[in-house]
Amino acid sequence: MAQPTATEIGRVVEFLQQDREDVKLNDVMDLAERMAQSLDEAVATTDKMLHAEFRSIAEQISSLKREIRDLRPDQFRFERIPEAGRELDAVVESTQDATETIMAAAEAIMAADASDPAAYKALVDDKMIVIFEACSFQDLTGQRIRKVVKTLSWIDERIESLAQRLNLAETGPAEAVEESEDERRMRELMLNGPQMKGQGVSQSDVDDFFSMSDQEDIDKLFD
Amino acid sequence: MALDLSMPILVVDDYKTMIRIIRNLLKQLGFEDVDEASDGTEAFAKMKDRRYGLVISDWNMEPMTGYELLKHVRADTSLAKTPFIMVTAESKTENVIAAKKAGVNNYIVKPFNAQTLKGKIEAVFND
């Protein structure tokens, strides 16, 4: 609640400082009237402040709604992300199909009887064509992945733009989020997944490590 | 330890195509008795039923990873000496060190070729 102003307090003090030996009903009513006037002014001031605050909050909410509308969340939810998911599913499927075709051809060549050179060559030629045809999947998967990358860039641009307009970058680092069960499993079991080229260790590094016969050298790695 | 081409080998991977690739490479190297499991739990159960001469395992599988399988195998007195090669895309230093510490015999980083697989199998049995 707002504090009474100096003027309001002054009025009450002035009234009480007067010589009041025989306080009558009118005096009490006079005091009550002065108190009521003081309260009216305090409420009026508080009301104005609250009104201004609420109007400011309402404007900020309207602005946020405009920013979110500009972000076109429906496009995210119902178009772009599901479409990217379908593209990636198609990549997995066509890669799987091609791998299956190529492996079946290679296994047929491995199992072929080479005692009849002419028949063996015909079979190898036939399977080689099948392998070449299957490799065409790479063209399609490349196109599909480029579409997914484009979608991710589209989303990234919009989120970046929203963050800039709302000055989110100036609010400091995000608060730590509690680790999920899945994240805990991945950390404890060192499920890091494939590393990018140039990151992680190479087979040669691994071989060097496994060739260490001196226990002290190995122990140093755990220090 | 001599390399015995007739020894049973257990290949553990949750990706069927990878099992098929390793099985074919092993076949090219002369190994005919190749069994498979899709995760550590299934592999450990199979190892309790049959004595394998070599285990070739992926790392990232559910519910039991290859790393957990390795630790289970080394903790089981009847299986502890089974040669174990990790074949995995996990190529962070911490993975290689942890596997070595847990007692893996060798470590192959995916993608790999037939020559690497052959070399590591020979290295395990020549130690």
Question: In this structure, are A64 and A77 located in the same domain?
Answer: no
B20/A103 touch (CB, cutoff 8 Å), yes or no: yes
A200/B91 touch (CB, cutoff 8 Å), yes or no: yes
Mean pLDDT of chain B: 94
Question: In this structure, are A18 and A44 located in the same domain?
Answer: yes
List, edge to edge, every strand of the sheet that includes B34-37. B34-37, B9-12, B54-57, B84-88, B106-109
Question: In this structure, are A26 and A89 located in the same domain?
Answer: no
Residue A218 located in a structural domain: no
What is residue A1's predicted lDDT score, i.e. its pLDDT? 47
Pick the residue with more confidence: A39 or B83? Answer: B83
Residue A222 located in a structural domain: no
Question: In this structure, are A161 and A77 located in the same domain?
Answer: yes
Question: In this structure, are A127 and A62 located in the same domain?
Answer: no
Residue A138 located in a structural domain: yes
B106/A191 touch (CB, cutoff 8 Å), yes or no: no
Residues of A in contact with B59 (CB under 8 A): 190-191
CA-to-CA dists, residue B54 to A150, B65, B71, B104, angstroms: 46, 17, 15, 11
Question: In this structure, are A115 and A136 located in the same domain?
Answer: yes
| CB contact A218 to B (< 8 Å) | yes
Residues across chain B = 127
A190/B95 touch (CB, cutoff 8 Å), yes or no: yes
| CB contact A215 to B (< 8 Å) | no
Residues of B in contact with A193 (CB under 8 A): 60, 89-90
| CB contact A177 to B (< 8 Å) | no
User: Mutual orientation of helices B16-29 and A81-111 as an angle, nearest 10°?
Assistant: 20
Average pLDDT, integer, range B8-26: 95
A200/B65 touch (CB, cutoff 8 Å), yes or no: no
| CB contact A187 to B (< 8 Å) | no
Question: Could you give the residue ranges of the DSSP H alpha helices within chain A?
Answer: 6-17, 25-71, 73-74, 81-111, 117-134, 137-165, 181-188, 203-210, 215-222
Residue A223 located in a structural domain: no
CA distance, residue B104 to nearest chain A CA (Å): 10
In tens, the pLDDT along A70-119 reads 777 777 778 888 899 999 999 999 999 999 999 999 999 999 999 999 99
What is residue A81's predicted lDDT score, i.e. its pLDDT? 87
Check whether B41 has a pLDDT greater than 90. yes
- Tokens 């196109």 belong to residue: A143
A110/B24 touch (CB, cutoff 8 Å), yes or no: yes
Question: In this structure, are A97 and A116 located in the same domain?
Answer: yes
CA distance, residue A104 to nearest chain B CA (Å): 10
- Counted across chains A and B, CB pairs separated by less than 8 A come out at 72
For chain B, list residues whose CB is within 8 angstroms of any CB belonging to chain A.
17, 20-21, 24, 27-28, 59-60, 65, 67-68, 89-98, 100-101, 106-110, 112, 116, 123
Q: How many structural domains compose chain A?
A: 2
CA distance, residue A161 to nearest chain B CA (Å): 35
Of A140, A168, A196, which one is at a domain's C-terminal end? A168
Mean pLDDT of chain A: 82
Search chain B and give the residue with CA nearest A197: B91
Question: In this structure, are A82 and A162 located in the same domain?
Answer: yes
Residue A185 located in a structural domain: no
CA distance, residue B16 to nearest chain A CA (Å): 10
Does CATH place domain B9-126 in 3.40.50.1110? no
- Where residue B55 falls among pLDDT bands split at 50, 70, 90? very high
Residues across chain A = 223
Distance CA B12, CA B87 (A): 9
Residue A61 located in a structural domain: yes
Residue A80 belongs to what domain range?
Answer: 72-168
Of A168, A185, A212, which one is at a domain's C-terminal end? A168
Tell me the domain boundaries of chain B.
Answer: 9-126
Question: In this structure, are A155 and A97 located in the same domain?
Answer: yes
Question: In this structure, are A46 and A63 located in the same domain?
Answer: yes
What is residue A210's predicted lDDT score, i.e. its pLDDT? 86
Of A69, A103, A121, which one is at a domain's C-terminal end? A69
Question: In this structure, are A35 and A80 located in the same domain?
Answer: no
Question: In this structure, are A51 and A96 located in the same domain?
Answer: no
ipTM of the modeled complex: 0.85
**pTM for the model:** 0.72
- Where residue A156 falls among pLDDT bands split at 50, 70, 90? confident
- Tokens 């199979």 belong to residue: B46
In tens, the pLDDT along A28-80 reads 777 777 777 777 777 777 888 888 888 888 888 888 778 777 777 777 778 88
